[in-house]
Amino acid sequence: MSSITSEVALDLFPFLKVYKDGTLKRLAGVEVVHPGLDPETNVLSKDILILPKTGVSARIYRPNLVTEPQKLPLVVYFHGGAFCAASPASLEYHTSLNKLVAEANIIALSVDYRLVPEHPLPTAYEDSWAALQWVASHKEENGNHEAWIKDYVELDEVFLTGDSSGANIAHHLALRIKESNLSYKLKIAGIGMIHPYFWGTNPIGSEVTDQFRKELVDKWWLYVCPSDKGCDDPLINPFVDGSSDLANLACDRILVIVAEKDILRDRGKLYYDKLVKSGWKGKAEFMETEGEDHVFHIFHPDCAKAKSLIQRLASFFKM
């Protein structure tokens, strides 16, 4: 790397570095693994192409043993990474999805939406929306159907789930469904929101005293979504003017999970509180993990609290 290239223009710790010549180096989610049979969980996975035109793909998971004609819930999963890092093939996400599928006895579709900066927002939302439309197409008799969905999925039990920016995506998709004709084709049974990535210009809770991390999260968002609305863009702040009413979320149940030491914790709690008071007709559930930080279960999947989180999600899908 030349001396000019090696000069860092922007350090978006812990996700990536942008250099003065315009190149970038991703730091998180770069270790990838191949799909296949996971011997620890006995879960099968494979990569599938969803949209040939754009190259949007997904990694689909199922238990190795599915008793026919048993039909399983489908969890459409959106990974985190602040819209600019990671993928379904990242080691941490592949491991987490294997464990979730084994615990919950579900089919999971982990969407590989395209990342910032190569694909500016709202590309991640549009790719994820296209993935939902593709799932809904399996209710049609004619079409290019994925065998694992056709053979094993109960299409009236579809859940949206994600962590961090992925939970943000799930929120926006559930609002968009309500306003589209997709609501006639696809019923969303629930949303599992793990450490959701919501933000705002005016600090609340621990953001007031934790100036370092407040500035860090500000910098992440202003990089992935450079707009005149800044951290009060409706994409990141669901409570500002121009945001859709939470009462319009197209699902029956929502589980909001936060972590005590997470700088995003207070936003997640605020989301839950406002949801309960919004007039939304569904059932809201809340879980807080004490003593842990943002997406700890992704980085420490074998710790007791990570296992507890996965078990809570699994029970949410079964209820």
Which residues are annotated as catalytic?
A: 164, 262, 294
Q: How many CA atoms lie within 13 A of 185 on its CB side?
A: 15
> How many Cβ atoms from other residues are within 10 Å of residue 304's Cβ?
8
Query: What is the C-alpha to C-alpha distance for residues 180 and 23, in angstroms, rounded to an integer?
Result: 39
Give the integer Cα–Cα distance in Å for 260 and 114: 30
Across the beta sheet with 56-63, what order do the strands follow?
A: 37-38, 43-51, 56-63, 107-112, 72-78, 153-163, 188-194, 253-259, 283-289
Report the side by side order of strands in the sheet with 8-12: 8-12, 16-19, 24-26
User: For residues 82 and 66, what is the distance between their CA atoms, to the nearest angstrom?
Assistant: 35
Contact 51, 130 (CB under 8 A): yes
Phi, psi of 214 (to 5 degrees): -60, -45
Q: Which residues are paired to 109 by β-bridges? A: 60, 76
At 245, the amino acid letter reads D
For 130-143, letters b (16+ CB in 10 Å) and e give bbbebbbbbeeeee
Q: What is the DSSP letter of 198?
A: -
Taking the C-alpha atoms of residue 59 and residue 48, their distance in angstroms, rounded to an integer, is 6
